[in-house]
Structure 1
Amino acid sequence: MNETYRALAEFAQTWGLLYFVGIFLCVLIYALSPSRKAQFDHAARLPLSED
């Protein structure tokens, strides 16, 4: 059982790390995409609007 747990833990750590790095890169690409600049600028000005 100890070997099974160790193998499963190593698998989860390796693929979990790769999964979260992939998610982080997707979010980073989304946030820094030039096509989203106008949308984010509008959202940044919302608290200052008078409506």
Structure 2
Amino acid sequence: MNYHVMREFADSWGLLFMFAFFFCAAMFALFRPNAKKFARDAAEIPFKEDESHGR
């Protein structure tokens, strides 16, 4: 395989693969069970009281 063959493959099938992977990862993050609870817990991390400074 030379550069041009690999470049042609990356321009067509590589782009399609990257798009499919991104789409599947986004759907998994948005529509998995309990996704809203995990997102809410992660968003509240900065506002939780730190036990070491609470004394």
Cross-structure match for 1:46: 45
Structure 1: give runs of 5+ residues left out of the alignment. none
Moved over 6 A (4+): none
| Equivalent pairs, count | 48
Name the structure where helix makes up a greater proportion of residues.
1
Unmatched segments (≥5 aa) in structure 2: 51-55
TM-score (norm 2): 0.67
Q: CA deviation at 1:31?
A: 2.0
Residue 41 of structure 1 and its aligned partner are, at CA, apart by: 0.7
Q: What amino acid is aligned across from residue 49 of structure 1 in structure 2?
A: K
Identical aligned residues as a percent: 38
- RMSD over aligned CA atoms reads 1.7
The aligned counterpart of 2:36 is: 37
